[in-house]
Structure formats: C-alpha cells, structure tokens
Amino acid sequence: MLELVTMNAEIFSEQIMPEPVCEDPEDDKFIACALVSGCKVIVSGDKHLLKVSGFGGIKVLRPRAFIDQYLSGRG
C-alpha cells in the first residue's frame, strides 16, 4: 500500500480554509487539501470529517465503505 501511495503521490501547497468547516478545526486541513488538489474522496473514520461529507463535492468515507465502493469493482 505504501508503495502505491508513494508512486502516485502529488505535493500541493498548504491551503487554509477562509471559514471553519469542521467542528474540530484541526480537520479543516484535510478538506482544504482535497479542495486544492481536486480530490473527490477522503478516507477516514474521523467523526468530524464524516459529518462534513459532501462539502465542496468531497465525499468522506470510512475505510470499509471506500473498499466496497472503489476497490471491489462496485464503484
């Protein structure tokens, strides 16, 4: 898995959300990164991120849901 990530990773400049999105402000960095990179899915079990799923067109999925939707051929 680590090899897959490192071979396909891209680096983006840090972005700060102009307004808070998550109940936990520490989680906003993940939403900001997804927005600047054009990412459409964040895989996380974090309850604050899960609550803002759909913000900016970004889905937040638990790992099992991600596997079921994207890796098992049903996505």
Burial state string for 9-47 with b = 16 or more CB within 10 A and e = fewer than 16: eeeeeeeeeeeebbeeeebbebbbbbbeeebebbebebe
CA atoms within 13 A on the CB side of 17: 18
Mean pLDDT for the stretch of residues 40-68: 96
User: Is the pLDDT at 75 greater than 50, yes or no?
Assistant: no
Query: What is the pTM (predicted TM-score) of this model?
Result: 0.83
Give me the residue spans of the domains in the chain.
Answer: 24-75
Mean pLDDT for the stretch of residues 30-42: 95
- Looking at residue 73, its pLDDT comes to 66
